[in-house]
Structure 1
Amino acid sequence: MRIFADLDELSAAKGEHLGHGDWLEVTQDRIDQFADATGDHQWIHVDAGRAKDGPFGTTIAHGYLTLSLIPMLAKQIFQVDNVTMGINYGLNKVRFPSVVPVGSRVRIGIEIVDVTDRPEGKQVTVRHTVEIDGNDKPACVAESIVLYLR
């Protein structure tokens, strides 16, 4: 875990890859709960019998489920101390290069892409790469923007 003492220390990390987190298994229960929360019950996610004969041979995680894991997985990589809060400011770019079959393990790698001064603090662009154990292509690559308030 990388702990930044303040926003200036975070600014100095621009361009740095901060490392990788622990592996997390994507279970059918997690996929089903996400389907219930979002109302997206497409068979490729929730119907194991039908998905067995589908293009991936099993159910797969929703792309947005994979994206939604980023905040939880990112907590393993870094934190910024001496700020009031971090606010999700949005996303620049999100891609899903590979599906996540049920039972797969995923982890996150993080890079600080940009840090911009703002009157209220710093705007930080972070590239999150969600990797799949044993797969050369990532499940998700997303650039998020966080506004850290002093």
Structure 2
Amino acid sequence: MKIINNHAEFEALLGLEIGVSDWHTITQQQINQFAEATIDHQWIHTDPERAKTESPFKATIAHGYLTVSLLPYFWHQIADVRNLKMLINYGVENIRFAQPVVVESRVRLIARLDTIANLRGITKATIGVTMEIENEKKPAYTGAVVFLYHFKS
């Protein structure tokens, strides 16, 4: 895990891979809970029996937005940004879903610092992200997440 205490330490990582998260298994229970929370009960996600016979994947798949919602969870495994007054989730940019995540797949995140700016004392960091699927050539998605860090000093 990378420890970052201030803007200068963050800026030193510009253009570099910051790290890789642990693997996480996407379960049917997690998919069902996400379906409940988002009121998105499309059968391709929530009906394992129908998916076995009608889906080209022969199993349910995770919602794309479920995998995106895991970004903060994975990011906190990769970087420990300290000395903060506040952190703001500012945006998600250019997410491209390349491959579905089949239930019981393991996924992880690779993060790099694409851009960083000092906005009158607020650090705006754009983190390039790739979600890998174990044993698959194509990633689940690529894109970027933008955070605003208000460091204490």
Within the alignment, does 1:23 sit opposite 2:56 as a pair?
Answer: no
Partners of 1:3 and 1:80 within 8 A in 2: yes
1:85 & 1:3 partners in 2: Cα distance? 16
1:123 alignment partner in structure 2: 124
Within the alignment, does 1:148 sit opposite 2:129 as a pair?
Answer: no
Within the alignment, does 1:107 sit opposite 2:108 as a pair?
Answer: yes
2:73 alignment partner in structure 1: 72
Aligned residues with identical type, % of pairs = 43
2:139 & 2:109 partners in 1: Cα distance? 10
For residue 121 of structure 1, report the CA deviation from its aligned partner: 1.4
User: Which TM-score applies when normalising by structure 1?
Assistant: 0.97
For residue 132 of structure 1, report the CA deviation from its aligned partner: 0.3
2:115 & 2:96 partners in 1: Cα distance? 19
1:58 & 1:92 partners in 2: Cα distance? 29
For residue 55 of structure 1, report the CA deviation from its aligned partner: 1.2
Gaps of 5+ in 2: none
1:136 alignment partner in structure 2: 137
Gaps of 5+ in 1: none
2:44 & 2:62 partners in 1: Cα distance? 9
Which consecutive segments of 4 or more residues in structure 1 shift more than 4 A? none
Partners of 1:17 and 1:111 within 8 A in 2: yes
- RMSD after superposition: 0.9
